[in-house]
Amino acid sequence: MYHHFVVGKDDQLLLVCLDIFIAGAQTTSSTLDFLFLVMILYPDIQKKVHYSIDNAFQKNESISYQDRQRVSFIEAVILEVERYYAVVPINGPRRVLRDTELEGYHIPKDTTVLISLHSVHFDKDYWKDPEVFRPERFLDNEGNIHNKERVLTFGLGHRRCLGEILAKHAIFLIFVEVMRKYTISLWPGTKQPTGIPVPGITITPEIYRAQFTPR
């Protein structure tokens, strides 16, 4: 069908821009949304986030992405959100290039496969307690980041997300700047969120109302 759809250079540019907006906007904003939700669900983690920022930066110091090494706990929280709430839970499709045996399964050439990133992120054998939200799993004894190789939120291989670096910068900087200035709590009188995501091609948090109180 697509071979009938001939587009000029301008249209092509417009379509590429659209692809980038579609792939980049919802994914990045949902990740931030999950991060703020987690601050409400786990007040102790929020306290550690505040402590980590206050300890690392002067009040009006400008912060860049390179400064993330100074706040490993924040990086660990972001990694744990990326693991726990993989916004693209099922990745793909990929075409199998040759007949393949995998863990006792025969996958014939040309089969279309989808990859469950969610399953990788909740593999009990690897993570031990995947259903627990625990940023510390990404911190070693010296407080440095480790163990992040199995977080595949941005996919894997040649077609992995091309916006990963942009998304990581945006998520880190927006999260740190907001947390630096505000304490987040549930809007009084509203229902406590469950933390269970709304399913879809990309997952999103349930609707919740938050109160941002200047610190």
- By C-beta, is 18 or 144 nearer to ligand HEM? 18
- By C-beta, is 13 or 191 nearer to ligand HEM? 13
Task: Mark the binding-site residues for heme, compressed into ranges.
Answer: 161
Q: How far is the CB of 19 from ligand HEM (least distance, A)?
A: 5
Letter string b/e over residues 113-124, b meaning 16 or more CB atoms within 10 A of that residue's CB: eebebbebbeee
Q: How far is the CB of 116 from ligand HEM (least distance, A)?
A: 12
Report the C-alpha gap between 35 and 42 in whole angstroms: 11
- By C-beta, is 87 or 184 nearer to ligand HEM? 87
- Which residues in 9-156 belong to E strands, given as ranges? 90-95, 100-102, 105-107, 112-116
- By C-beta, is 34 or 73 nearer to ligand HEM? 34
Q: How far is the CB of 110 from ligand HEM (least distance, A)?
A: 18
Report the C-alpha gap between 96 and 115 in whole angstroms: 12
**Mapping DSSP to helix (H, G, I), strand (E, B) and coil, where does residue 185 land?**
strand
- For 11-37, give the DSSP string: HHHHHHHHHHHHHHHHHHHHHHHHHHH
Minimal CB distance residue for ligand HEM: 163
Give me the residues that bind ligand HEM (CB under 6 A), please.
19-20, 23-24, 27-28, 31, 87-88, 91, 153-157, 159-163, 166-167
Report the C-alpha gap between 161 and 181 in whole angstroms: 31
Q: How far is the CB of 95 from ligand HEM (least distance, A)?
A: 12
- By C-beta, is 7 or 162 nearer to ligand HEM? 162
Under a CB-based contact definition with an 8 Å cutoff, are residues 113 and 132 in contact? no
CA 210 to mean position of chain CA atoms: 20
Task: Mark the binding-site residues, compressed into ranges.
Answer: 161
| Cα distances (angstroms) measured from residue 18 to each of 24, 28, 90 | 10, 15, 22
Q: How far is the CB of 160 from ligand HEM (least distance, A)?
A: 4
